[in-house]
A and B are shown apart, each in its own frame.
Chain A
């Protein structure tokens, strides 16, 4: 059963807890050689978008990571066979020992997910496999203060989605993400 994420934009507060929880759990360093404030890789990113005009403007935050696509574009272009999709749960993982750092996946991914740290190899969300295999939620989902972010099989999430008229994110790669609001 394909696993995925659900994000409720009416509830996401742009608080970055998911971003930090992901880095904390997965031991992702800050940009160690850089000046304070420089960004290191973030497997989960929060983007804030503003629209409209005063007094009816809207500010929306959205937290996104690897979409663990049904037909991952990254896998198709990887010359090193470093990326694979797990059979049971559809989680897309990268073997950084095989990765040659060619950035082909970054060009192919429609969502700009692949990132490269100091060792030059591709890194991205692994759905917190170590947690999920123990029956726990991914760190980002577990930490989300307003519970805007959920994880589960796409079927489980579709029940949640039906209540909020959420929609599937659409792209040729078939991303495994529901968006509400």
Chain B
């Protein structure tokens, strides 16, 4: 054949050769991929291709199994790992090799050679030993001078591979100030359901109706779609609550297209229908809830007509949805990780949504029925022992006392204040992206102002530009572990290819750092296999045995266990009225309050900025700020955009694909107009993570007082032709 097959990484090499060396300055020559790492396979036929298995790390949540075809040590293509319970890989996973072999990957440890605050960082390649020695020495210096708690250990989007290991490192170092990107994602929904007492079931084979609240798995978790489609095909009723006409919405029997941030009012309105029509579970409510009478009285004001004026959802639809939800038991309840809590009243709104599971008695009382504990391995963080003695030194103690009681990591969103006040003076950042925070210049300044900062990533990202030391992290295809569990399968991914350059797995370099800090004894002297053996011990298996199982091991379920029935709340009941919140000076009931920068609470502001400004939604091809440099993904959505309804676009004379300026009181960004019915009239959606049109330069820094979460999804803006 005349045409040459495309092997990821090869064609790009020449083109980006100069670019890479330009970016990396004088040290560029030392960074270019060695001949052995860019050797390309020359045939497109499967001869000689061997299947190896791993976990995809192209998003933070999927953890899907992936099969990688490897020829002569080089990954050539991928396919779903269909025997693994989690999957299949989505559009991002299908593009993973363009990440693995991207010529801009950070391949060697680097030290900064010019002052922070320079237009671009200048870097010099150093050895791992020098890098880890420097980090150990500088962090120890901070500890001696000011105290160990002045050091922040921070993990961005990466999950299992980074977080538990980093938290152990922090706690053994002596700092309780370990925090993560979950300070803006997921922890607040867990906080809300923990305050109530429990979350609820998603889809089970018995489910007859399911409510999807602010969740669009089609684009956010494609691996969940097949189960949802199958449920639809067996007749499960689907209620979709989403301000958008999202792809998943097409599966819905009822779509409640609410104004962003009014979720609480909608949920309380549905609760009123369920209570007043006698559709609630009287026995459950009597035996297992706290504050029902107060809750019942409070929701009376949320008549369907009033809720229609607040949310924009037609009264008849609300009533129909409430009846459908409460009359098709058992019902499933699927909410997004964070969309409902990206509002100023988000935690209370999410509590109101969760209350419906108690009214219908579909939330299981923990310990009531004997159940089979989920498969798990030993927790490497050891926080239960190590954190309590350090608790008083938590940076977030005074700011977010409710969070502090429930979450074993600090609420990081006041980082600029903590650095400004000297509460935090140095940091170790893994996969951090400062652009995820509202008014993000405050956060980049905070990192820059630290006396010392080191980071690990796949790339020299804008955040890595703020570091003194940069460490090259290995991707999931290049490292051993972490242990993965999906249903009853335990799987230990092994490197499918050799790491690029000197990139190292997160546990590997962190354990090595612990040795450089003189803490080797607490970290199995850097022995990864010994560590994995210790983690796996409760399962009765050893890492070496697990490594011989290319598809993992299925561990049969043990005997069902029962406990003392009761919710983990002060009353032991599901708290429609939260004792913890009352004690902390908040409303015990899940009270609805208007978004402070919304059309109702701030009509004057809405005169100037009449559109509701919703940010942070997922697109199928990107994970937050990642993958804009992945050509296979970038061609699917080349530009930052604003989704705007045809009515709003027409009123502004904006044509499809034109440049448009999105403005708030904080400033403006220029993006492409995408005129679509996905947006409802009066609401626009702007996507995050684009360096050239960074939406978090114009989002307001309004934090939920309970959770500390930013109100990313219910602010105000104007859009005009550029």
A residues in contact (CB < 8 Å) with B: 10-11, 13-17, 19-21, 23-33, 36-40, 50, 52, 54-55, 57-59, 61, 96-97, 117, 119, 121, 123, 130, 139, 142-143, 145-148
Which residue in chain B gives the minimum CB-CB distance to A40? B635
A95 nearest in chain B by CB position: B1
A-B contact pairs, 10 of them (CB 8 A): A17-B94, A20-B94, A30-B635, A36-B631, A40-B635, A59-B247, A121-B3, A130-B45, A139-B79, A146-B229
Known contacts A37-B639, A59-B677: does B248 contact A143 (CB below 8 Å)? no
Asked if A145 meets B639 with Cβ closer than 8 Å, knowing A20-B633, A29-B11, the reply is no
Least CB distance from B690 to A in Å reads 12
Contact B638 A37 (CB under 8 A): yes
The distance in angstroms between the C-alpha atoms of A109 and B518, with both chains bound, is: 70
A96 to B89, CA, bound (A): 31
Neighbouring B residues of A57 by C-beta, 8 Å: 245, 677
Q: Are B45's CB and A145's CB within 8 A? A: no
Interface set, chain B 391-439, CB cutoff 8 A to A: none
Contact A20 B12, CB 8 Å, known A11-B229, A13-B247, A27-B6: no
- Cα separation A31 to B11 with both chains bound (whole Å): 10
Residue from A26, A29, A96, A123 whose CB has the most chain B CB atoms within 10 Å: A29
B677 engages A13 (CB within 8 Å): no
Secondary structure of the A side of the interface?
Answer: loop
B368 at the interface (CB under 8 A from A): no
Per the 8 Å Cβ criterion, residues 234-290 of B in contact with A are 245, 247-248, 250-251, 257
Of B6, B79, B228, B620, the residue contacting A143 (CB under 8 A) is B79
Q: Which of B218-226, B291-299, B319-327, B351-359 interfaces with chain A?
A: B218-226
Residues in B neighbouring A40, C-beta threshold 8 A: 635
Q: Closest residue of chain A to B223, judged by CB? A: A145
Nearest neighbor of B681 in chain A, beta-carbon distance: A54
Bound together, the chains give a CA A46 to CA B620 distance in angstroms of: 13
**Contact residue among B3, B228, B678, B681 (Cβ-Cβ distance under 8 Å from A119):** B3
Q: CA of A20 to CA of B634 in the docked complex: distance in angstroms? A: 11
Check A145 against B631 for contact (C-beta < 8 Å). no
Q: For residue B257, which residues in chain A have a CB less than 8 angstroms away from its CB?
A: 55
Interface residues in B1-44 (C-beta closer than 8 Å to A): 1-7, 11-12, 15, 44
B46 interfacial by beta-carbon distance below 8 Å: yes
From 633 to 647 in chain B, residues with beta carbon under 8 angstroms from any chain A beta carbon are: 633-639, 645, 647
Q: Closest residue to B44 on the A side, CB-wise?
A: A27
Inter-subunit contact A96/B88 (CB<8 Å): no
* Residue from B77, B91, B681 in contact with A19 in the complex, judged by beta carbons closer than 8 Å: B91
CB distance from B546 to the nearest CB of A (A): 27
For residue B200, CB closer than 8 A to chain A, the reply is no
Known contacts A30-B632, A119-B2; decide if A59 and B15 are in contact (CB<8 Å). Answer: no
Given contacts A20-B91, A54-B677, A143-B94, 18 further A-B contacts (CB under 8 A): A10-B251, A11-B251, A17-B88, A20-B636, A21-B79, A24-B632, A26-B44, A27-B76, A30-B98, A37-B635, A38-B635, A54-B680, A59-B250, A96-B3, A143-B80, A146-B226, A146-B228, A148-B229
B238 smallest CB distance to A (angstroms) = 12
- Which residue numbers of B lie inside 8 Å of A, CB to CB? 1-7, 11-12, 15, 44-46, 76-80, 82, 88-92, 94-95, 97-98, 218-219, 222-223, 225-226, 228-229, 245, 247-248, 250-251, 257, 620-621, 628-629, 631-639, 645, 647, 676-678, 680-681
A31-B631 contact in complex given A24-B94, A37-B638, A147-B226, C-beta closer than 8 Å: yes
With A24-B94, A36-B628 as contacts: A15 and B78 at CB distance below 8 Å: no
> A31 touches which one: B91, B92, B218, B635 (CB < 8 A)?
B635
Q: Is the CB of B247 within 8 A of A39?
A: no
Q: Is the CB of A32 within 8 A of B677?
A: no
Q: What is the CA–CA distance of A14 and B676 in the complex, to the nearest angstrom? A: 14
Whether the pair B1, A96 counts as a contact (CB closer than 8 A) is yes
Give min CB distance, A62 to chain B, whole Å. 12
Residue of B nearest to A60 (CB): B250
Bound complex: CA of A59 vs CA of B77, how far in Å?
32
Contact of A30 among B78, B80, B631 (CB under 8 A): B631
B79 and A142 form a contact (CB under 8 A): yes
Shortest C-beta distance, A37 to chain B (Å), equals 3
Closest CB in chain A relative to B624 CB, distance in Å = 17
Report the minimum CB–CB distance from B377 to chain A (whole Å): 28
| A117/B91 contact (C-beta < 8 A), A13-B218, A142-B79 known | no
Once bound together, how far apart are the Cα atoms of A23 and B631, in whole Å?
Answer: 12
Q: Report the Cα distance A21→B638, complex, angstroms.
A: 19
Contacts of A54 in B (CB 8 A): 645, 647, 677, 680-681
**By the criterion CB–CB under 8 Å, are A145 and B11 in contact?**
no
Between A17, A25, A55, the greatest number of chain B beta carbons within 10 A of the residue's beta carbon is seen for: A17
What residue of chain A has the Cβ atom nearest to residue B97's Cβ?
A: A24
